[in-house]
Chain A
């Protein structure tokens, strides 16, 4: 199974600060159809996860453009350009290129 390693496990930020989260895969997530099925989710406390980014860098409808995703192959990054209070929670990367699908362990974003 594909292992996704997220770093850091915890991130402390001030409002307005820009932060990045890394997600590294144990194998390439490039599908034979040319797509890379790597998504980013945010789970706020007491809520189900919410899709932020799909196919590495595509912003889900309604998600603020301070969120951006990049990467290829095995290395991926989520960047938040100017953290806002509503961004606090746990971020997960998830791959659906190789079955069974797998999640990263999560990165908790908290206020400094």
Chain B
């Protein structure tokens, strides 16, 4: 059974760095891509970036300068790091197996 679970701090201060972890089970990170998607409260979905099965990454053009996605295949984990957070980065952050299976999401609030 495929499962994805996002984890990370619920509160981040402005200008700080957000670090999130997506822990997966039921599939191999060397066989499937994992995407990060976020959703500001009450708004639509925004594709943030991708860790491809072969280790390649791709990023949303608007976030590229602040965003980094990496992985540890031995731990079945994909990581997201985004720096210089501002209040409009507040929202729910999801990881998904190639858009097919989704985690429940983690709510992140950027506030002082």
Residues of A within 8 A of B (CB): 1, 39, 41, 43, 48-51, 54, 60, 90, 92, 94, 96, 99-106
The interface size bin for chain B is 20 to 34
What 3 A-B pairs are tightest by C-beta distance, nearest first? A48-B102, A99-B58, A103-B45
Q: 10 A–B contact pairs at CB < 8 A?
A: A1-B61, A48-B94, A48-B103, A48-B105, A51-B99, A54-B100, A96-B98, A100-B49, A101-B47, A106-B45
Which residues in window 8-48 of B have CB below 8 A to A? 35, 37, 44-47
Contact between A39 and B99, CB atoms less than 8 A apart: yes
List, in ascending order, chain A residues with CB within 8 A of B102's CB. Answer: 48-50
Given pairs A48-B96, A49-B96, 20 additional interface contacts (CB within 8 A): A43-B45, A48-B94, A48-B102, A48-B105, A49-B37, A50-B102, A51-B100, A54-B99, A54-B100, A60-B100, A94-B47, A96-B98, A100-B58, A100-B60, A101-B50, A103-B37, A103-B46, A104-B44, A105-B44, A106-B45
User: How many angstroms between the C-alpha atoms of A39 and B35 in the bound complex?
Assistant: 15
Residues of B within 8 A of A (CB): 35, 37, 44-47, 49-50, 58-61, 94, 96, 98-100, 102-105
Most buried by A among B47, B50, B103: B47
B9 to chain A, nearest CB (A): 20
B35 to chain A, nearest CB (A): 7
User: How many angstroms between the C-alpha atoms of A103 and B37 in the bound complex?
Assistant: 10
